[in-house]
Chains A and B, each alone.
Chain A
Amino acid sequence: MKAVIMAGGFGTRIQPLTSSLPKPMIPLFNRPIMLHIVELLKKHDITDLVMLLYHQPEVIKKFFRDGSDFGVKITYVTPLQDMGTAGAVKAAEKYLKERFLVISGDLLTDFNLKKVIDFHNDKKAMATITLTSVKDPLQFGVVITDKDKRITQFLEKPGWGEVISDTINTGIYVLEPDIFRYIPDGENFDFSQDLFPSMLENKDPLFGFPAKGYWRDIGNTDSYREAYHDIFRGKVNLKIDEPKQDFVGKDLRIGADVTLEDASGLEGTVVVGDNTQVQGGVHIKDSVIGRNCTIERGVRLSRCVIWDNAYVKKGARIVDSVVCTNVRIGQSAHLEEGVIVADDTSIGDEAVIKADVKIWPRKLIEAGSIVTSNMIWGEKWKKSLFEGAIIKGLSNVELTPEFCAKLGCAYGTTLPKGSFVLAGRDSNRSSRMLKRSFVGGILSAGVNVRDMKMTSLPLLRYKLKTFGEVGGFHFRQGQDDPTSMEIVFLDGDGLDFSSSMAKNAERIFYKENFRRAHHSEPGAITDINNVADFYREGFLRALDREVLKKAAWTVVIDFNYSPASQILPLILNELGCNVIALNAYVDEGRGVKRTMEKQPALEQLSKIVNSLNAQAGFWLDPTAEAITLLDETGRILDGIELLTLMTNLTLRSGQKGVIAVPVQAPSNIEQMAVQKRCQVTRTKSSDRAMLEAASSTEVILAGSTDGRFALPRFQAAFDGMFAIARLIELGASVGIPLSRALVEAPASAYLQTSLPCVWEMKGGIMRKMSEDSLDKEATFIDGIKVHFGDEWVLVLPDQYFPCVHIVAEAKDQKTAHRLLAEYQKKVENWKKELE
């Protein structure tokens, strides 16, 4: 008698275990599930097999080949399309000229198949369906039989109200070749939905045999783990390749070439595959470890399934989880119950994977991370959510609506119940979608939201300076990567989140220690529409209207499709400026590729400035925080030149006070300030450090080296719109063209570069730099800055990326190049020494 093994399924419900294997090849006690079926058939003298393949057939063929290694004869049939269960068997019709048995390749059962066949013979049936009783028949096909075991009714996947029996179809059938006349050629045809109901209608001899024994459909990851539990508990007998060891009170199965340092920590049923190394001090209970694995000291495994080539570092704890092939579990990492880690994934040291999380293949979980939700598409799970005041992630991949809702709830939990927060976003559609989810989370924590909807970040910060809200957030498209989303978090003063605020929100997020509002007390959303008028009033109050009106500059501004285009042209027109606005409309579809588009846009802007004889051109960053300036000749200024120009104009205008610049800004800022008896404050390079400095009443200008300025007279926050107006005002009041104002400023040669540097090495590099600077004049505001008279070099580790920045300034280009090259070489050498 022949048997047909159905092995064509995609295994979608059991992902990610099937990410690189067809479902029948998933290991069950270190052998493919389907091999257990082959063994069962062999046990009942069925050795002539037809395997019906469809998905990844080559993996199955490569393993079983002609079947001779397993004592059977195998014929493979691979239909060219999905034909349904009966349709697929029809494709093998030419091999099935006599009575045959059909069985699924992904079952775990110890049914006595002989009894099923004998029953079929006795009843002279055309088809016999093997039946079993289950506690939860809802996901199966329920079968009703009469007292002669003749089938009278089918119920496919019934609801609880429809359940009239707990007897289900197990997918094991004995069939006569006559059934093929019911199955059409080349059509999708199913046994339980099409064939058996037709037979029932025709009153053909269709019987159900209630089998005794164990049966489980290994359809999803829970069922897969439960199958192991059942085997550990002895509910089903299974052939295990690894030989049983003679240890009293233990059921140890140890493969060939296994190194087992100490068996005292092993408990219950423990299977260790060939060539695996288990070091001492481990505690392993009811677990199966695959081949070529290493289990280091102090590892604790309980009810675990570990496939081949896994490396579990010392002190790791894994409970009731599945670790697939080529996985590395870091030192002291913890996998809670129900975790699935798919192939080729690395879990960092001390990482925690929360219960029931599934990690898809080829992921990198950073050390110390806490993974709370399934990780499917992204490549990396970061240790911390925040990069400064920003949470960044791929839109709808890493930052999904459900992730944002949780994040919103965590953020809301950090704030007083009943308080208000201010919400805003850019014009991007993903920003709107994700912001809505985030707002839902905030409301659930009992915090109210005032929604500014689409707005520019400077406006949101400006409103936060007033009373009413305890914080704010802004959703925007990623600045470096258009596929990513950034959420900027602000405190009640409109400043970037401090690290303690970020840590607080992060802790609540990871621990899921949310404050859920009572059903009658969720937060409310109110729209807030007149912030633009409020901003405009303050904006105009902070400028000298007379000077601006008198000068009546013509300026060209590329608004980059940002919401700033709805405000700034009107204000500048009111101040007497003639504004030629480019890309001055909001386009939700825009934004992508904009970084690449910047250079051509600047070149175009330069042409327009020249042809219109404008006094200046501006490229306003889509966030409306940063600007790029073109002088009246159309020359594009870089960030350092713009900072120099702005400083020179501010000082020439006669304003007295302090100028705040980051540690890497050029020293000509000090030279200019000294001449005008003003001071310079050097700050750390972080945005928050700069803006905190700008909050001082003494500061008249805070400027970065990338075109962002905070002018505390209006607001102590980076505001590209006000920076444009202020530059025009300063240029008009000083009364010289911008190109001349830049030429007047003391010149210097300023160079910078970045070198890749892994995170673990950054500290070492800075220690080496510190040792190297012992006999030199050095400052340690941020990174290490070494002074050589008027020249200096700064080595600054990047806060968010694995790189180190080197900045050099000298009087001439040659010296600056020499200094930069010298320190570049030093850092490269230190990297080699530290490896």
Chain B
Amino acid sequence: MSRILVVDDEANIRILYAEELSEEGYEVVTAAGTAEAIEKLQQMEFDLAVLDIKLKNESGIDLLQKLVKERHDMPVVLCSAFSCYKDDFSAWLADGYIVKSGDLSELKQEIARVLAKKTQRARGGQ
């Protein structure tokens, strides 16, 4: 079972994502901000992180930079209410980008795609 870290400052989003992704068979751990996310990352291993870009006074992009540097084998899917960050090259470090929507099917598809790619990479690209 793949374990996913969901980082979002909105409690309702965290609950929604956790419920929906759990139903998909993932183990979901949530964090409300950068500090909590780092704490969770120190406690356990994750297969993927779903990261909001605007986190109250913090920037999800900064956290993304940190994750890429320190946990480069863990893919990150950015999840934002804004599509404009797609053109920000700092965001290109992520493995996926989803514009937030009430319909979570795109998010689920992207998570599945990125995880499959990760597995493929680990197997040597075969």
A530 beta carbon closer than 8 Å to chain B: yes
Contact of A468 among B68, B97, B122 (CB under 8 A): B97
Cβ contact within 8 Å between B93 and A466: yes
A693 beta carbon closer than 8 Å to chain B: yes
Cβ contact within 8 Å between B125 and A467: no
Contact of B125 among A468, A528, A694 (CB under 8 A): A694
B108 beta carbon closer than 8 Å to chain A: no
Cβ contact within 8 Å between A466 and B124: no
Cβ contact within 8 Å between A466 and B92: yes
Give the Cβ gap from B66 to chain A, nearest Cβ, in Å: 12
Interface residues of A in 494-551 (CB under 8 A from B): 528, 530-531, 533-534, 537-538, 541
Interface residues of B in 72-90 (CB under 8 A from A): 73, 78, 86-87, 89-90
Interface residues of B in 47-78 (CB under 8 A from A): 68-69, 73, 78
Cβ contact within 8 Å between A467 and B122: no
Contact of B122 among A466, A681, A692, A697 (CB under 8 A): A697
A699 beta carbon closer than 8 Å to chain B: yes
Give the Cβ gap from B117 to chain A, nearest Cβ, in Å: 7
Given the contacts A468-B92, A468-B97, A698 and B69 also touching, CB distance less than 8 Å: no
Q: Mark A696-719, 1 if CB is under 8 A from B, else 0.
A: 111100000000000000001000
Cβ contact within 8 Å between A534 and B89: yes
Residues of chain B within 8 A of A693, CB atoms compared: 124-125
Residues of chain A within 8 A of B94, CB atoms compared: 466-467
Count of chain B residues near A, Cβ 8 A: 22
CA distance A695 to B123 in the complex (A): 9
CA distance A541 to B126 in the complex (A): 27
CA distance A463 to B73 in the complex (A): 18
Residues of chain B within 8 A of A534, CB atoms compared: 89-90, 92
Contact of A467 among B96, B123, B126 (CB under 8 A): B96
B95 beta carbon closer than 8 Å to chain A: yes
Range of interface residues on A (Cβ < 8 Å): 20 to 34
Cβ contact within 8 Å between A697 and B92: no
Cβ contact within 8 Å between A697 and B89: no
Cβ contact within 8 Å between B123 and A696: yes
Q: How would you classify the secondary structure of chain B's contact residues: helix, strand, loop or mixed? A: mixed
Contact of B124 among A533, A541, A692 (CB under 8 A): A692
Determine the residue in chain A with the shortest Cβ distance to B118.
A697
Residues of chain A within 8 A of B69, CB atoms compared: 541
Determine the residue in chain B with the shortest Cβ distance to A420.
B86
Residues of chain B within 8 A of A681, CB atoms compared: 124
Give the Cβ gap from A349 to chain B, nearest Cβ, in Å: 36
Cβ contact within 8 Å between A493 and B124: no
CA distance A537 to B69 in the complex (A): 11
Interface centre among B93, B94, B97 (most CB of A within 10 A): B93
Residues of chain B within 8 A of A533, CB atoms compared: 89
CA distance A697 to B75 in the complex (A): 13
Cβ contact within 8 Å between B125 and A696: yes
Cβ contact within 8 Å between A695 and B120: yes
Give the Cβ gap from A797 to chain B, nearest Cβ, in Å: 23
Cβ contact within 8 Å between B124 and A468: no
CA distance A528 to B120 in the complex (A): 29
Residues of chain B within 8 A of A537, CB atoms compared: 89
Determine the residue in chain A with the shortest Cβ distance to B96.
A467
Given the contacts A493-B117, A541-B69, A697-B73, A467 and B124 also touching, CB distance less than 8 Å: no
Give the Cβ gap from B48 to chain A, nearest Cβ, in Å: 13
Interface residues of A in 442-478 (CB under 8 A from B): 463, 466-468
Interface centre among B86, B90, B125, B126 (most CB of A within 10 A): B125
CA distance A533 to B90 in the complex (A): 9
Q: Mark A29-71, 1 if CB is under 8 A from B, else 0.
A: 0000000000000000000000000000000000000000000
Interface residues of A in 571-597 (CB under 8 A from B): none
Cβ contact within 8 Å between B97 and A695: no
Contact of A699 among B78, B87, B93, B124 (CB under 8 A): B124
Interface residues of B in 96-126 (CB under 8 A from A): 96-97, 117, 120-126
Residues of chain A within 8 A of B95, CB atoms compared: 466-467
Residues of chain B within 8 A of A538, CB atoms compared: 93
CA distance A693 to B117 in the complex (A): 14
10 A-B pairs with C-beta separation under 8 A? A466-B94, A467-B92, A467-B97, A533-B89, A541-B69, A681-B124, A692-B125, A693-B124, A695-B121, A696-B124
B residues in contact (CB < 8 Å) with A = 68-69, 73, 78, 86-87, 89-90, 92-97, 117, 120-126
